[in-house]
Amino acid sequence: MAKGQLGWLPQGEIAVTQPEFGQRLKARRTALRMSQRELAGDFVTPSYISLLEAGSRVPTLDVVVYLGRMLDCSLEELLDVDVAPLLPSEASRRPIVFEQVLARSASEVGDHAQARRFLENALASARSDGLPERVVDVSLELQDTLRMLSEHQARLRLLEELAEVPLVQSAPELLLVVKTHLASVLRDLGQLREARRTAYGALTHLRQPGIGGTSVHVRLLGVLISVLCEAGELDQVEPLITEMLEVAGKLDWPGFVGRAHWVASMAYAQLGRPEEAREHFGLARDALAFPSMSLIDWLRFCRSAASVLLDIGDDLDSARQWIRDAETTSRMLGLAQEQAIVSALRARYELSTGNPQEALRLYEPLTGPDTPLAGLDLIYSYLSHANALHQTRELDKAIAMLRSAVELCEKGGSYQLAAQVWRQIDELTRERDTVLADDQP
């Protein structure tokens, strides 16, 4: 096949090449004198058809099946491959709701990878059958499973497609939910500028009757607060914390109250206010019903607890215990990216307790070419690794590590963080030059 942008469809190993697919799609549509709006129907939006034809999107199998039906042509014509051996027969296809039941059963025993496969089957069937409400339902369930798996890119693609579904675009409540999830995954990928824009855009939907004051309101504010903290825009954070806690308090749902305090604790640690950080961490710990939390949520709470304690710089014994709990849980889950994040947290702890050599040993595989880390997790590992190199007087390597961090910051639109890193680079460069000058005979 010709080289191009490859996308792998959820059922079968069928490769779609762009822009070739888009060119075939446009040629067939124009030959039938069909507009993009007519081709889109109620299945996708005209803008999505435009993106496909331009080669800017890679379609999923259910979208290709739909397009083939609308254009009265075979999948082989659209894809330029033999797809017959790879497609499930109608007779062998399980009901959508049964696929969802199987997915939930898999999730209950911690097999999120298997749950993903069941949900992808259900989503393909829902789209192929033209069931928009079921498409939204399954997509939201699938994006949560992808979040559990830390599959950020797959989650982003799914949510971008979901945002184009006409049913979502016509319902402010659904659009708010999708945009909140989008802002969350963009944050995780380190695309803070786009995450900030998406979160603030979602805020406008809270003016709609029946939306403000709900759990989605709390979740959106939590995502926005974390985005602003990561972006270094701390002056806007405190009013949002107050609003989030007020809305959560009125809901009187212990889980959401606890999670609101969880976010507040992390934010106050970033603001350099240790007393408030400790207070809200205690409230979060008391409110959350740990036995009912999923393993992945428990792992992330352990990580957050240790991170807050390291941020405020006290009670390192408790931080060590939270890290141990996180290490145990991450081994149980067996997720490579989560294990890497916990390893970076352990390295940060070693650095805080005066063991830079051990920190360097732990950081080495996390900042190398085969790292499982991405987005903000990778940026912060670069920064901490540079700190460890600085403490061991390896200044050239520290500067190189900071340059890797600033490149990712600028790529993701984290310009305030990038500016801070550039200042660190300047300081280290001056320090290195002074050392070199002192070493001259």
Residue 351 has pLDDT above 90, yes or no: yes
CA-to-CA dists, residue 63 to 28, 31, 75, 95, 124, angstroms? 15, 20, 11, 19, 8
Q: How far apart are CA 184 and CA 192, in angstroms?
A: 10
Among candidates 129, 142, 227, 229, which has minimal Cα distance to 178?
Answer: 142
Residue 210 has pLDDT above 90, yes or no: no
Q: Which two tokens stand for residue 298?
A: 């428990």
CB 309 within 8 A of CB 319: yes
CA-to-CA dists, residue 294 to 150, 184, 276, angstroms? 15, 19, 27
Residue 295 lies in a domain: no
Alpha helices in 164-294 (DSSP H): 166-169, 172-188, 192-203, 215-231, 237-251, 254-270, 274-287
pLDDT in tens, 365-419: 999 888 888 888 899 999 999 999 999 999 999 999 999 999 988 887 778 888 9
CB 311 within 8 A of CB 304: no
Average pLDDT over residues 252-275: 90
- The secondary element (H helix, E strand) that includes residue 150 is none
Among candidates 47, 24, 23, which has minimal Cα distance to 35?
Answer: 47
Domain at 360, CATH number: 1.25.40.10
Residue 153 lies in a domain: no
What single-letter DSSP state applies at residue 86?
A: G
Domain closes at, from 249, 269, 289: 289
Residue 214 lies in a domain: yes
Q: 104-113, 247-256, 367-376: which has the minimum mean pLDDT?
A: 104-113
Residue 65 has pLDDT above 80, yes or no: no
Q: How confident is the model at residue 92 (pLDDT cuts 50, 70, 90)?
A: low
Residue 91 lies in a domain: no
Residue 202 has pLDDT above 90, yes or no: yes
Longest alpha-carbon distance in the chain: 84
Examine the domain organization and report whether 281 and 368 are in the same domain.
no
pLDDT in tens, 278-322: 999 999 988 886 666 778 888 988 999 999 999 888 789 999 999
Q: 71-75, 339-343, 358-362, 417-421: which has the minimum mean pLDDT?
A: 71-75
Examine the domain organization and report whether 284 and 202 are in the same domain.
yes
Domain closes at, from 253, 271, 289: 289
CB 315 within 8 A of CB 353: no
Residue 27 has pLDDT above 60, yes or no: yes
Residue 326 lies in a domain: no
Q: How far apart are CA 399 and CA 421, in angstroms?
A: 10
Residue 139 lies in a domain: no
Residue percentage of the chain with pLDDT more than 70: 91
Domain closes at, from 86, 104, 135: 86
Q: 9-23, 159-173, 208-222, 275-289: which has the minimum mean pLDDT?
A: 9-23
pLDDT at 48: 85
CB 148 within 8 A of CB 296: yes
Examine the domain organization and report whether 353 and 434 are in the same domain.
yes
Residue 343 has pLDDT above 60, yes or no: yes
Q: How far apart are CA 437 and CA 68, in angstroms?
A: 70
Residue 225 lies in a domain: yes
Q: Write out the residue range of the structural domain in which residue 415 sits.
A: 348-441
Whose tokens are 């070493």? That residue is 439
Number of H helices, E strands in the chain: 23, 2
Q: Give me the half-sphere count of Cα atoms (radius 13 Å) on the Cβ side of residue 147.
A: 20
Q: How far apart are CA 3 and CA 153, in angstroms?
A: 21
Residue 159 lies in a domain: no
Q: Domain total for the chain?
A: 3
Domain at 55, CATH number: 1.10.260.40
